[in-house]
Chains A and B, each alone.
Chain A
Amino acid sequence: GAVVSQHPSRVICKSGTSVKIECRSLDFQATTMFWYRQFPKKSLMLMATSNEGSKATYEQGVEKDKFLINHASLTLSTLTVTSAHPEDSSFYICSARRAGVHNEQFFGPGTRLTVL
């Protein structure tokens, strides 16, 4: 159990377009999901915390109008990169928190975004 999927795994888009990335908890309900960004050869940086049915909480320095997060159900959160630019190219990873004694997070496999 505790599987998290992301779709797509890889996407290439033109500069100026918007891209939506989905994060799903396949076998558990997640009231909270997290979005991370990873630059090449760098660590994961938390971008935002997504709570089901409410607005996401963004980390300092993350543009909320550029990275739109929606968490409309207990198993799905989406990250939309709006008006993408080459500097938005990155590896985006989501995680979902499963309710329990330790409220453990489970990570998705990541989405590679390349903006041309």
Chain B
Amino acid sequence: AQSVTQPDIHITVSEGASLELRCNYSYGATPYLFWYVQSPGQGLQLLLKYFSGDTLVQGIKGFEAEFKRSQSSFNLRKPSVHWSDAAEYFCAVGNNDMRFGAGTRLTVKP
């Protein structure tokens, strides 16, 4: 069965610092992978997705993620975090039915 693990429940970074959010997945075939961001009380916004091809994926708001098959990972990165990036981030895997990780809450210190 497919599953997603986000090991970090909460991460705090200073504004301007780099960010990496971890995501590991378990899937029987080549997965479709996604990162979403959710602000409090809001819906999901798609940051980026991986279906196939280049393993380094560029998304919106300066985010990128790298698919590493050997590590079953799809970590999200941003070189310089902005205060507006504070939110909940979800990694998801699947296609026919999507499974979400538990989420990582990002706090940005001024």
Shortest distance in angstroms between A60's beta carbon and chain B's nearest beta carbon?
A: 11
- A44 with B100: CB separation less than 8 A: yes
- B41 with A43: CB separation less than 8 A: no
Greatest chain A CB density within 10 A among B51, B90, B95, B97 is at B97
Given contacts A34-B97, A49-B97, A102-B95, contact A43 B90 (CB under 8 A): yes
Greatest chain B CB density within 10 A among A45, A107, A109 is at A107
A contact residues around B32 at 8 Å (CB): 102
Chain A's interface size range is 20 to 34
Given contacts A43-B103, A44-B90, A102-B32, contact A110 B98 (CB under 8 A): no
B contact residues around A95 at 8 Å (CB): 98
Within 8 A of A (CB), among B82-106: 90, 95-103, 105
B contact residues around A64 at 8 Å (CB): none
The B interface is mostly helix, strand or loop, or mixed, namely loop
Given contacts A107-B44, A109-B43, contact A46 B95 (CB under 8 A): no
- B96 with A103: CB separation less than 8 A: yes
A10-44 vs B, CB cutoff 8 Å, 1 = contact: the mask equals: 00000000000000000000000010100001111
CB within 8 A of B43: which of A41, A103, A104, A110? A110
A contact residues around B97 at 8 Å (CB): 34, 46, 49
Shortest distance in angstroms between A74's beta carbon and chain B's nearest beta carbon?
A: 18
A101-116 vs B, CB cutoff 8 Å, 1 = contact: the mask equals: 0111101111010000
- A34 with B98: CB separation less than 8 A: yes
